[in-house]
Every structure is written in C-alpha cells, then in structure tokens.
A and B are shown apart, each in its own frame.
Chain A
C-alpha cells in the first residue's frame, strides 16, 4: 500500500515541481493537497480493515471485544441479563445504534453495518444468548 502512495507522490511531485521550476507554481499546492487526500484516504481505509468487534457468548458471560486502531476494549456482561437494543440516530437521516449490555450499561456494536445487517446481527446474538436459556432453566429445576 505504501508503494502505491509513494508512486503517486513521485509522479505528482515530478509533474508539479517541473512546472514550479518554470514559474508556474500554482499547480504545486493543488498536487500537495491531492496527495494529502490520497494518503489520508489510504491510511484511514487500511486502519479500518484491521478494526474488528468480537462477541463471545459463554455459559455465564457475553464478552464484547472492540478494536479501533491500536485501542482494544473488552466489556463483560452476565449472559442471563444481557439485552440487545436498537436506538434511533440523532434524526431519521442518521443510522440507528445497535446496543448490547445489561444492568444499565450498554455498548454500541456493529456501527459500520447497514441497517439490515444490524437486524441480522441482533437476531443472531439474541439466538445465541437464548439458546442457553433451557440449560439454565434445567439447572434451576434440578
């Protein structure tokens, strides 16, 4: 990826500096801005490809691990009390939020997903949590 950016920088700099030396300097700032934009877009996209959210449902707990860039945060919830919630965005033009949590403590998950995929994810997590309930009830009844 760095090679791609370097190639673009070399080509763009060669062109704009050539005109600069001839006195036509106004091409240089445009080229500079553009290369900054390309580099930023590449960096943001590359960083985003390493981001992830991992949701693990165990007998007792639901663990949500979120990685954003170099930051990694883990949240643990009691499985029996874990709830999935949807909240509206600021207004109807903003995406909804998918929240997971319990006891009044909720974290947003799947913020990069489409609305349909948020629905699907919510259903999958509920199913995963619910599938343990009979075992719990069985244990209680025993």
Chain B
C-alpha cells in the first residue's frame, strides 16, 4: 500500500513547462541556452546597427541618417556587441560546458545563475529604449567620455543604469564560475588537469571581479556629476575629464581580455580535437593566459597616448603593451605546434579555429603598431583602430564563438549540423569579414577619422568596398542562424563522442547531453 501511495504522489510533481520553464530554470544547460539565444539576438541587433553605419558610409555625404543618429548607432553598436553579444555568449558557453568539463552536476549557485541571466533582458530593454527618448540614445561613444556624456540627455542616465545591471549580471556570473571551479570539480580533477576553456574562464572571472567595480564607480560618478553637482569629471566644477579616461580604460583594457580569453579557451579545445593530438604546452598555455591577464592591468593608457602624458608614462605604457605580444605569441606558437604533424581534418569548427589563429594574429600585429607611441599619434582615432579591434573582437571572439557553437552543437542538440552549410557560412563569413575590415586599415593609414558620418572624397573607394563587405557579412550570419535552427530541429543523430578523437568529460555523456549530468561524480584518471 505504501508503494502505491508513494507512486500516486510521484505523479503529481513535474517541471514547469513552456515559458515558465525558462523563467524559473536553475539548470545550467537551460541557462546556457538562454544566454546563447540572447547573445545571438543581440548579435543580430548590433549587426543591424552596424549596417546602418555602413549604409551611411557607402558614399560621401549624408544619405541615410543624420549625424546625431549616426553617433547613436556607433555608440549602441559597441555597447550591444560588447555587453549584449560577446560577454553573454561566453557566459552561455561557460554555463553549458564548465560543469560538464569538470564533472559537476551543475553550477555551484544555480538560483544566482538564473538571476544573473534574467537581469540581462531588462538591462538591454532599458538600453535600447533609450533610443526612443527625447534627444535620442547615447551618442558619446561606448566609452562615455566626459564631459560629452555629462551633457547628454536622459538616455545617458538610462545607459548608466543599464550598465549597472549588466555589471551585476557579469559579477554574479563570475562569482558562480569561480565557486563552481573551486568547489565542484570531480575527485581527481586537479587544477592542472582542467580543460583550457575552464582555465581561461577562471582567469576571465578573476578579471571581471577585479575591474567591474571600477566601471560601476566610474559611471556612478558620471551620474552624480550630471545630477548631484559633484565635479569628479566635470571641468566646469574643477573636475578632471582626462581622469575619466584613465578610470574607464583601467576597466576597459582588462575588458578586452575578458572578451578574448574565453575565445582562446575554445580554440584550445577545438584544435587538439581536429589535429588528433593533445594540446602542445598545456602548462605554458595556462601561464600565458595568466600573464596576459596580469599585463592587462598595466597597459590601459595606450588607449590615450594623445591626451598628454609624461614621456616616462608614454614609454612605460608602450613597452608594457608590447610585452603582451610575448604570452600571446606563446599561445599562437602552441596552437601551431599542436597542429604540427597532426592528422588534421577541416570540419567547420576547425576552419573557424584556424581563421581565428590567422586573423587574430593580424589584429595582434596591428595592435603592436598601435602600441608604438609615436606611430599611435598618427593612427589614433582613425579607421586603423576600427580595423584593429574588429580583427581582434570579430575574428577573435565572435568567430571563436561560432567555431565553438559548431563544435558543441551536436552535444547540445543530439544532431549533427549541416556540414555543407556550415562550411558555406564559414567561407562567406570569413571572406566578407576581410572585405569589410581589411580596407579600413588603409582608410586609417590615409587619415580617415572614426565616428564620422561623412568623409572626404579620396576615401570613397575603400568605404564602398567596406560597406559592400559589411552587407555580405550581415547576410552570411543568416546562414548561421538557419544552420543552428536546422540542427536544433533535427538532423543526423550525433554519437556520444561526436568527433574522431575528442578529449574531455563532456564527450563521455550521451548526445544530446541529458538534462542532468554527473549526478554521481566521474572518476578522473
């Protein structure tokens, strides 16, 4: 009788379904999916803003939008892409993969995890809604430099509030990652056995913890300058606007590494699998990641060589910036060495990984050029800088995420993606990316300033090429969306291992990964 009674009770529970499942979920895979869908949505929104920019720049003169709206688009494009697409995208990967990679059943703080995601839609509603306020959205650039941002309308306040919310979300996510990695590893999973993706995320989480309060403090001081008559940055009251730049970039440069280190982790997972060799120089990879993170704290002023600094300061920041090439070079060397004499195959994830290594290196070299102080006086605030950071952030971070998505999609969905379409996406994406951004190097070297809606006639040809490339790049992302949707809906059944010789605990669970994995900790050899 007891058994019958209990069985009767068992039928009365169950998971919430429909939208409630997603709102109330504390499962790391569900939350990872939410983050990834949010990131893709923001990527498309930010991409549309980029197309507005490129449409206006298709030819000289003002054709499509007025200059003020153009400035809003440059500002919002950056904010949406950085805080809405790339950061949540990597948190999505972290949520999906870190527990499975370390043999944990879930993240350490699942309710906090739910909260950190659900802050984001509200933050971005607030940010995007600022476009519809009187005077339009924020137009001072994503850096919100004072005193321009002090003079902005209500949209700046909404942006500041949205940044606070994004910051809270990021910090909670970082806390969860740190606690999960330190407390939830399977027995035998020593720190130096952690997959590289986990290591890069651990270091990224430390960076987030270190610099997010700096951003929060900076924008709060901006807010009080605007509304409470303080004068931290307002020169009219004796404040120092250059100090805002120092504070902002003290956050901003580590932020660049927050955006790229998890990408390095993804690449370090993909390349060994398709080279059929273990990662070359695991320990040096970990140390190089930590080295890059440390250096990120002492290079911030290379973003502001032209504001006026003592010569010693210029020299210090020049040399410290150049030093970053050393650990980054170690990473590139190790990836190439991993491939050396490997049994390489070139499935879509590997193609993306190779493109990241090659194109990110181009971005790294243009970064070295920008690090040279006297040269930077020429390049500063030109399209050369725009080209540089898109080679780092698009062909580094975004393409690594695309590669990662193709790599783990079969594990997430249980279906193989359409390899032919994946390769078409890769080639169109990569070719159009280069058509868009490579000419911008020449525009910058020729002296075309960034953040302008109109330009001198001599810049026309390269701008036409760049704009055409941008529209091609935008369209190519529709292939990606189609491939993902097609893979989610069906396709060839993926095996548990998916690839020929993958390494890591995530490949020991079935495909698709069950809702709950590693309820019993795995044994690590």
Contacts and interface: CB of A to CB of B under 8 A. Distances in A.
Contacts of B341: none
A4 B205 CA distance: 12
Contacts of A15: 210-211, 213-214, 250
Nearest to B167: A30
Nearest to B214: A27
Interface string B154-195: 000000000000000001100110110011100000000000
A7 B16 CA distance: 41
A45 B5 contact: no
A132 B209 CA distance: 55
B329 interface: no
Interface stretch (B7-15, B369-377, B453-461, B487-495): B7-15
Nearest to A33: B213
A34 interface: yes
Interface stretch (B29-37, B58-66, B76-84, B217-225): B217-225
| Size bracket of the A interface | 35 or more
A26 B221 contact: yes
A46 B301 CA distance: 39
B213 A16 contact: yes
A28 B210 CA distance: 12
Given A4-B182, A37-B175, A96-B13, A84 B2 contact: yes
A115 B15 CA distance: 8
Interface residues of B, number: 45
B108 A45 contact: yes
Contacts of B516: 114, 116-117
Contacts of B10: 86, 119, 122
Given A24-B243, A46-B183, A115-B14, A126 B175 contact: no
A132 to B, nearest CB: 13
Interface in B294-343: none
Contacts of B211: 15
B9 A26 contact: no
B206 to A, nearest CB: 7
A22 B14 contact: no
Contacts of A117: 516, 519
Interface stretch (A55-63, A70-78, A87-95): A87-95
Contacts of B12: 86, 88, 96
Nearest to B211: A15
Contacts of A114: 516, 519
Interface in B1-48: 2-3, 5-6, 9-10, 12-16, 20, 24
A1 B182 contact: yes
B104 to A, nearest CB: 11
A15 B216 CA distance: 13
Interface in A19-64: 19, 22-24, 26-31, 33-34, 37-38, 41-42, 44-46, 49
Given A4-B182, A27-B214, A116-B516, A34 B109 contact: no
B24 A93 contact: yes
Nearest to B3: A126
A37 B171 contact: yes
A12 B297 CA distance: 12
Contacts of B224: 26
B247 interface: yes
A92 B20 CA distance: 10
16 contacts: A1-B182, A11-B206, A12-B210, A27-B216, A30-B217, A31-B217, A34-B212, A38-B175, A38-B209, A42-B182, A46-B183, A83-B5, A85-B9, A114-B516, A115-B15, A118-B13
Given A26-B217, A31-B213, 7 more contacts: A11-B210, A12-B213, A27-B216, A41-B179, A49-B183, A83-B6, A126-B3
